[in-house]
Structure 1
Amino acid sequence: MAERQAERGTARGTARRTGAQVQHEIMQLILDERLRPGEPLPTETELMASLGVSRNSVREALKGLQALDIVEIRHGYGTYVGQVSLTPLADGLTFRTLQEAGGYVRALSEILEVREVLEAGLIRRVAPTIPEEDLAALDVIVRRMDARARAGETFAEEDREFHELLYRSVGNALVPQLLEVFWNVFDRVSRVRGFDHDPSPIGTVRRHRAIVTALRRRDVEAAEEALAKHFRNIDTRVARADRRDRPGTNHR
C-alpha cells in the first residue's frame, strides 16, 4: 500500500486541488486498496504524503466523505471506511421535499410515484414465485397491524416491515435500502407537516391483506391492482393534508 501511495503523491505533485478532487482521490484510494467497511484508512500524515495536499485539505475532504457515510471518523482512533449507506440520500430528499418551491406536496408526490413504479415492477417479479414462508410471515404482520388498528394504535413499523419482506425473495440487497430511503422521507415529511395520522387504519390493513391474498393466488394482475389501491390511499392522505394547509380552505 505504501508504494502505491508514494506513486500517487509523486504523480500529482503538490498542485492545489479542490476539495471535491481530494475527496475523489481518497475514494479512489479506497477502491484501489480494496478496503472494506470498517477497515482503517491511512493516517492524515500518510494521506498528505500520498495525495500531496495539506492537512486542512485532507481533513476537509474526510469531513465531506463522512457526511456521505463513505468514511467514519473515530476521534482518538483514526478514520475507517464507512458503511456507505443510503442515509445521505434520504437526508437530501427530505430536505429537498420540505424546501420545494412549488410546495412539499408536489415533491412528496413525485417521490411516491417513483416508489410506486419500483414496487409495481417488483411485485410482478415476486407474484409468481414468492415462497410460502414469506406469505406466512406477511400474514403474521397483517394480523399484528389489525390488532394494533383495533386497539387504536399506529403500526408504522409493521407497515415498513411488510414492504421489506414483500420483496425479500428478489434477492437484491439494494431493494430494501431504496425502500427504506423512500419510507424514511415520507415518514419525516409527514411528521413535520402533521399528516402522519391515518384516518382509516382498518382500511389500510384491508389493503395490505388484499396484496397478500392476491399473491397467495399467484395472481399478478390482482397483486398489482391491490398495490395500486394502496398507493392511491397514500396519495389521498397527502392531498388531504395539502387542502388542510392551504389558507381559506374548508377543512370539513
Structure 2
Amino acid sequence: MSIDKPIARVKLSDQVQSRLLSFIHAEKLRPGDPLPSERELMETYSVGRPAIREAMQNLKRMGLIEIKHGERPRIAEPSFDRMVDQMSETMRHLLIHSSTSLSHLKEARATFEMEVGRIAARKRTPADIEDLEAILARQDSVRLNAPAFLKADGDFHHRIALISGNPIFSSLSQSLFGWLAQFHFDLVRKPGLERITLDEHWQIVEAIKKGDPEETARVTEAHLNRANRLYHQDNYSQAN
C-alpha cells in the first residue's frame, strides 16, 4: 500500500508575487514605472492586503521595486550594489557555519583580485595612480586607528577595481572585502602588521604604475595569501 505524499501548499503571498512578476514582464515595465495600487491588486487577485504587502516586500528585498510612503510602488533602477547587498545575509550564514565556504570565498577573492590587478595595470591612468597613492598616504596616517585603517584598506582594493571600468567588478570588490571584514575580521586586518600591509599595498601600486599585469598579479597574490596563512596559523594555535 503506497501513501501519497502531501501536496505542498504555496503561500498566498508567493502566488501574488509570481503573478506580479508575470505582470511586470508581460507589460514590459521599466525602471520608474508604477505598479497598480494595493486596492487594485486586492480586487484583481481577490486577496487581502497582508498577502499583497508581503509580496511587495519580497520584491523590494529582491531589488525589483521601490516602495515609498504615500506613493505607488515603482520598478527599481537596476543596481549591482543592491544585488550583492542582498546576498549579505546568505553569506553571513555560510561564513559563520561553513569553513568550506570560507575557504572557497578566500580562493575566489584572491583569484578575483589578481585578475582585477592585471586589468588595472593595463588600463591605469596618471589620475588612477594619484588616487591610489593618496589612499595609501591616508592609510599610513591612520595606521593606529583600527576602523579607519580597515576602511582605507577596503577603499584601496575598491579603487583598483574601479580602474577596470566594469561596475560588476567594482561592486564585487566591495562585497568580497566587506563580507570578510564583517564576518571574519582577522582575515583582512592583523593588529601589529599595519606596516607590512602598507608595504605590500605600495608594491601593488608600483606594479600597476609600471603597467606590468603579471607583476601586479604576483604581488597581489602574495599579499592576500600572507593574510590567509596568518589566519590559519592563529586558528591552529588556538585549537592546540
1:66–1:72 CA contact under 8 A, matched in 2:
yes
1:141–1:162 CA contact under 8 A, matched in 2:
yes
The alignment's TM-score, normalised by the length of structure 1, stands at 0.76
Which of structures 1 and 2 has the larger relative contact order (alpha carbons within 8 angstroms, sep 6+)? 2
Name the aligned partner's letter for residue 221 of structure 1.
E
Deviations along 1:187-213, one digit per CA (max 9) or x if unpaired, are 11124x898543301000111100110
Match of 1:35 in 2: 30
1:23–1:61 CA contact under 8 A, matched in 2:
yes
Match of 2:138 in 1: 144
Residue 170 of structure 1 aligns to a residue whose secondary structure is coil
Match of 1:120 in 2: 114
Spell out the pairing of 1:15-164 with structure 2 (5 A cutoff): 18=11, 19-31=13-25, 32-36=27-31, 40-50=34-44, 52-55=45-48, 56-82=50-76, 84=79, 85=82, 86-100=84-98, 103=99, 106-149=100-143, 152-154=144-146, 155-164=149-158
Residue 202 of structure 2 aligns to a residue whose secondary structure is helix
Task: Tell me, in whole angstroms, the C-alpha distance in 1 between the residues paired with 2:70 and 2:229.
Answer: 51
Task: Tell me, in whole angstroms, the C-alpha distance in 2 between the residues paired with 1:117 and 1:28.
Answer: 38
Match of 1:231 in 2: 224
2:132–2:156 CA contact under 8 A, matched in 1:
yes
Match of 1:216 in 2: 209
Task: Tell me, in whole angstroms, the C-alpha distance in 1 between the residues paired with 2:105 and 2:165.
Answer: 24
1:188 equivalenced with 2:186 (yes/no): no
CA drift of 1:123 comes to: 2.0
Number of equivalences = 223
2:92–2:179 CA contact under 8 A, matched in 1:
yes
The percent of aligned pairs where both chains have the same amino acid is 22
Deviations along 1:75-128, one digit per CA (max 9) or x if unpaired, are 44443444551211122111221122xx4xx42221121122222222222212
Task: Tell me, in whole angstroms, the C-alpha distance in 1 between the residues paired with 2:107 and 2:203.
Answer: 21
The alignment's TM-score, normalised by the length of structure 2, stands at 0.80
1:195–1:237 CA contact under 8 A, matched in 2:
no
List runs of 5+ in structure 2 lacking aligned partners.
Answer: 1-8
Task: Tell me, in whole angstroms, the C-alpha distance in 2 between the residues paired with 1:195 and 1:212.
Answer: 18
2:158–2:173 CA contact under 8 A, matched in 1:
yes
Q: CA RMSD in A?
A: 2.7
Match of 2:197 in 1: 204
Task: Tell me, in whole angstroms, the C-alpha distance in 1 between the residues paired with 2:57 and 2:110.
Answer: 35
Task: Tell me, in whole angstroms, the C-alpha distance in 2 between the residues paired with 1:174 and 1:194.
Answer: 23
Deviations along 1:53-94, one digit per CA (max 9) or x if unpaired, are 513432221222233333343344443444551211122111
